[in-house]
Structure 1
Amino acid sequence: MHPTAPVIAATDFSPQARQAAERAARLAHENGAPLALVHVLPGDTLEALRAWLGSDTAPERAMHDEARAALAIQAADLKARRHVEPAVVCRSGPVLDEILREAEARDASLLVLGARGSGFLRRLVLGSTAERLMRRSAKPLLVVRQAPHEPYRRVLVAVDFSPWSKAAVALAHRVAPHAQLVLMAAFEVPFGEKLRYAGVDDATVERYREAARQEATRRVHALAEDCGLRAAQWTPRVLEGDASLRIVEQEAELGCDLVVLGKHGRSASVDLLLGSTTRHVLAEGSADVLVSTVRD
C-alpha cells in the first residue's frame, strides 16, 4: 500500500460489506490514504427493469437516488467514527468492469470487499465473478470476514518461494505494520508414497523428508532477511502437507486474523489465487484474506 494511494471499498450495503468498509476506513486512516466507497447497480438488473417498464425511467432514477442516499449515510458514519471523509461513487453497468475501472482511475492501493454480500458482492466472492475479478485486477484485494475491532495482530503469509512471495510479505508488512508475521511454507516429499511402493525403505524416505524440511526452513529465513524483517517481527512455520489444509490449520491454531496469499504460484500454471488453495482458505478459514497481485 502506497501511503497516499486511495483505498476502495465496494459495498452493497449488507452487514458484511459494512464490515469491509469499516476495515477499509481503518486502513485508510492508519496510512493517511483517501477512501472511496463504490456501489454499482448491476446493468443486467437495470436492463430487465427497462424491458418490463419500457420508457418509464422514474423507477431507475429512484434506485439511483436510494443508492446515493445510502452511500451518503455510510460515508457520514465512517467520517464520524473513523476520522476519514470517503468519496462516494454510484455507478451502473457491469459490476466487475465498473469496480475495476474505478480502481484503475483512482490508482487504488487496495480494493476491499466483504466475504458475503446480500447482492452482487455475494456473487463476486463466491462465484466465477470473483475469479475473474482476481484474475483481472492489478490491485491487491482484501476480503473481509471479521468485524474490524482492532488492527491486525497476527498475519499468516503463505510463501512458496516463487517471485510472488517477496511481494506478498512486503504487502503484509505494509497493511499490518505492527502485526507479528508468520511466514508459512508447506513442503512435500516428491513421490513420497510411491517411493515406498517402489521398495524404498522408510529410513531413506525420512532422510528425504528431513532434507526437504531443512531446505524449506533455510529458504524461509533467507526470504525474511531479503524482505528486511527483524527477528522480533516474524516467526517461521515449516510444515509438511497440502498448503491449503495447512494454511487453515495454522490460521486457527495460531489465532491469525489475516491470511496473505500471492496471486500466482511457482509458474503461470500454478495459480494459488484461482485454484483450490484460495477457495479452500475462503471456504474453511475464518480470517480475512489479502491477495497480493504483484510479483517481485
Structure 2
Amino acid sequence: MIKLKQLLAATDLSAPSRHAVDRGFRIAATTGASYNVMHAIELDAIDALRELIGDDTAEVKHKLENNARKLLSTSLTDPAHNQGVTANALIVSGAPLASIAANADALEADLLILGVRGEDYLRHLLLGSTASRLLRKTTRHPILIVKQPPYAPYRRLLIPVDFSPVSEKSIRLGRLVAPDADIVLLHAFEVPFESKLFFAGVEEDVIARYRVAARNEAMKRMHYLACIAGLEIGDYTPLVLYGDPSQQVIAQEQEQDCDLIVMGKHGTSVTEELLLGSVSQHVIAESQSDVLIAVDA
C-alpha cells in the first residue's frame, strides 16, 4: 500500500460516533484519500413490528431511511467538522457488521474507521459487538478505532513490534495515516523459561545477563526493522523493555504521551485469535488513545 486511496467510516449517527467521522475527515484532508461514510439500518427488522404498525411497514422503512439520509448529509456537510473534504454518504440496509465488511470490500477500502461508544465497563461490552468482531473476521482492511475527539492531527505514535512481517506493515501504515507524527517503537520481552530457571536454582545475576543479552539482540532487530520499513535513525525513538507486552504498551502510552497506538493482527487462525485476545484486545479495551490495527493477510 503506497498511499491511502479509500477511507470508509461507519457511524450509527450517535454523538460518540461523531469522533470517528471527524477523524476520518482529518485523515482524508491530510492524505488526499477519498472519504466514504456509511450508516447501516436493519430495515428488515421493521417487518417484525407489522402487528403493531399495520401494513404500512414499507412507509415506515422509507421514512427511517430518509431521516437517516438527512441526518448523515447534515453531519457531513458541516464546515465546522469536515475540514473542507467532501465525503460520499452511504445509507445501506442490513446488519452493521456484515454491511461494513461488504462495503469495505466493494470500495477496496485502505482503512476502516470505527468509533467506540461508552466508557469503562460499557466500553468492554460494546467493543465486543462491532469492532472486535470485525477485527476477528477482517483480513484485508486495517481498522482505526477512534476513542478521542480529534482536535488535531495525531502527534505521536506508539508502535509495538514483535519483528514479524506485520510489524513492518504497522510502521508503514502509521506513517501513511499520520505522516507528520513522531514515532515511538516499542518491543516488550520476557526471558523464555525465566520462572523455571529461578525454580531450578539458576542465580539471579545469570538471569540478569540473559535479560541484557535479550535486550541487546532486540535493539539490533528493532533498528533493522525500522530500516526496512523506511525509517532512518532520528525518525523514531526505540524502546526495548522487559515485561508483559500488553502491560508495557498501556504504560508507555502514558509515559510517552502518545495519542495513537499502531499494532498488528496476525491472520485468523484459532491460535492467532488467542493472541488477539491477549494483546491487541487488551490494548483496545484498556488504552485511552485511538488504536490502529494493521493486518497480516
TM-score by length of 2: 0.90
Q: 1:141 aligns with which of 143, 163, 167?
A: 143
Structure 1 gap ranges (5+): none
Alpha-carbon distance in 2 for matches of 1:190, 1:257: 32
Deviations 1:25-58 (A, max 9, x none): 1101111111111000135643433464353222
> Which secondary structure state, in structure 1, belongs to the residue aligned with residue 68 of structure 2?
helix
> Which secondary structure state, in structure 2, belongs to the residue aligned with residue 82 of structure 1?
coil
Counterpart of 2:68, as a letter, is A
* 1:193 aligns to 2:198 (yes or no): no
Counterparts of residues 164-243 of structure 1 (less than 5 Å): 164-243=166-245
Q: 2:159 aligns with which of 147, 157, 160?
A: 157
* 1:26 aligns to 2:35 (yes or no): no
Alpha-carbon distance in 2 for matches of 1:294, 1:277: 15
Alpha-carbon distance in 2 for matches of 1:200, 1:123: 41
- 8 Å CA contact 1:123, 1:130 repeated in 2: no
> Which secondary structure state, in structure 2, belongs to the residue aligned with residue 244 of structure 1?
helix
> Which secondary structure state, in structure 2, belongs to the residue aligned with residue 16 of structure 1?
coil
Cα 1:130–1:44 shift into 2, 3 Å: farther
TM-score by length of 1: 0.90
Alpha-carbon distance in 2 for matches of 1:227, 1:272: 27
Counterparts of residues 207-286 of structure 1 (less than 5 Å): 207-264=209-266, 269-271=271-273, 274-286=276-288
- 8 Å CA contact 1:155, 1:258 repeated in 2: yes
1:63 match: 64
Alpha-carbon distance in 2 for matches of 1:275, 1:69: 38
Q: CA RMSD in A?
A: 2.4
Deviations 1:165-195 (A, max 9, x none): 1111110111111111111001001111221
> Which secondary structure state, in structure 2, belongs to the residue aligned with residue 146 of structure 1?
coil
- What percent identity do the matched residue pairs reach? 44
Deviations 1:249-278 (A, max 9, x none): 00011100000110128x872458731212
Cα 1:73–1:272 shift into 2, 3 Å: farther
Cα 1:261–1:273 shift into 2, 3 Å: farther
Structure 2 gap ranges (5+): none
Could you tell me how far 1:135 is from its partner in structure 2?
A: 2.3
* 1:73 aligns to 2:74 (yes or no): yes
Deviations 1:78-108 (A, max 9, x none): 5874111111111111211111111111111
Could you tell me how far 1:230 is from its partner in structure 2?
A: 1.8
- 8 Å CA contact 1:17, 1:117 repeated in 2: no
> Which secondary structure state, in structure 2, belongs to the residue aligned with residue 235 of structure 1?
strand
1:48 match: 48
Could you tell me how far 1:283 is from its partner in structure 2?
A: 2.2
Counterpart of 1:144, as a letter, is V
Cα 1:230–1:151 shift into 2, 3 Å: same
1:88 match: 89
Deviations 1:123-166 (A, max 9, x none): 99511543331122211100011111111111000100112111
Could you tell me how far 1:117 is from its partner in structure 2?
A: 6.4
Alpha-carbon distance in 2 for matches of 1:123, 1:199: 41
Alpha-carbon distance in 1 for matches of 2:294, 2:204: 39
* 1:103 aligns to 2:104 (yes or no): yes
Alpha-carbon distance in 1 for matches of 2:142, 2:42: 23
Alpha-carbon distance in 2 for matches of 1:75, 1:128: 25
Counterpart of 1:20, as a letter, is A
Cα 1:95–1:192 shift into 2, 3 Å: same
Could you tell me how far 1:70 is from its partner in structure 2?
A: 0.5
Cα 1:202–1:5 shift into 2, 3 Å: same
